[in-house]
Amino acid sequence: MEHKPVLFHEAISELAVRSRGTYVDCTLGGASHAEAILHKLADGGRLFGFDQDAQAVRRARERLGDHEIFTPIKENFRHLRSALAEQGVQTIDGALYDLGVSSFHFDDAGRGFSYRFDGPLDMRMDESASLTAKDVVNTWEERELKRILYEYAEERFASRIARAIVNRRKEKPLSTTLELVDVIKTAMPAKALQSKGHPAKRTFQALRIAVNDELAALEESLQDAIDMLNPGGRIVVISFHSLEDKIVKRLFKEASTVFHPEGLPTMPKEEPDYFLVHKKVIRPTPEETETNPRAKSAKMRVLGRFPEKKNPSCEA
């Protein structure tokens, strides 16, 4: 199945690409965004694409070919600052994050992301990483399993599922995705199994986030992107669940707000360097959600940095 990016045209438009700027596609994936950004860059512009998945980097190279101004980087985007420093880059004019999981991850049973196909309990975005979903379900304590199910996926039956996993692994370790699906189904009440949506969806989401440390990686990367953003630049983030959006919303608010310590006799006049391009979150149109079900939970936020103010004393 071909991966269909959500809010694609809106994201590229909001990035406001400058032809000779330096940009980062922090979630390279199928390279749709990277391709669109490349078309807007001229000689002198630069584009870096991050993805910790070697397959995604390979696909991007195949799709985009050899471009002198494009550099794919096989690295977790949490290492944005250090990886760009190795390329001689200290500042950027824009960054784009599409935090959705690519369709090819779910379609490849061997990666263990999907509850629809039988495969190994893996779920690593970076296949060279050590921690797998199999490690989590077979070694983490019940209270920790319950925590990630509740916090990362808002799973109503977190306690029951965590207990069922621990009881099943006493008999034998869980090794495959469908084994885990079976445990989840046995733990949930019959009424819940009849409700809309797959019963294992939330558990698999929570495990994927835990295995890849997605929330901490997002916070680290986004803070670095904000710090590195040049005047006039923009950061665009598309998120798909509330925990991601909360991180984005908080960091963007902090960057666009000047905080004054309490108790000061006077309030110094100071303006923030950053601003929210849109006060409200951007959502897909009804037409897009109808043709692409993945779009229903998408939210896009955009942060801009004010252009540098001209110094009147320097003007002729």
Which tens digits make up the pLDDT trace of 279-300?
Answer: 999 999 999 999 988 899 999 9
What is the torsion angle, in degrees rounded to the nearest 10, for the CA atoms of residue 65, residue 67, residue 69 and residue 75?
30
Burial of 35 (0-12, 13-18, 19+ CB in 10 A): middle
Residue 90 has pLDDT above 80, yes or no: yes
CATH class, range 109-212: mainly alpha
Q: Where are the domains of the chain?
A: 8-98+214-314, 109-212
pLDDT band of residue 189 (cuts 50, 70, 90) is: very high
Q: Could you tell me whether strands 92-98 and 70-74 are parallel, antiparallel, or unpaired per DSSP bridges? A: unpaired
pLDDT tens-digit readout, 200-240:
999 999 999 999 999 999 999 999 999 999 999 999 999 99
Q: What is the model's pLDDT at position 22?
A: 98
Distance CA 298, CA 292 (A): 11
End-to-end CA distance of the chain: 60
pLDDT of 257 strictly over 50: yes
Q: Could you tell me the pLDDT band of residue 260, with boundaries at 50, 70 and 90?
A: low
User: Is residue 183 over pLDDT 50?
Assistant: yes
pLDDT at position 315 is 40
Q: What is the mean pLDDT of residues 145-163?
A: 96
> What is the CATH architecture assignment of 8-98+214-314?
3-Layer(aba) Sandwich (3.40)
Q: Look at the block and give the residue holding tokens 């985007």.
A: 77
Residue 269 reports pLDDT greater than 60: no
3-state secondary structure of 117: coil
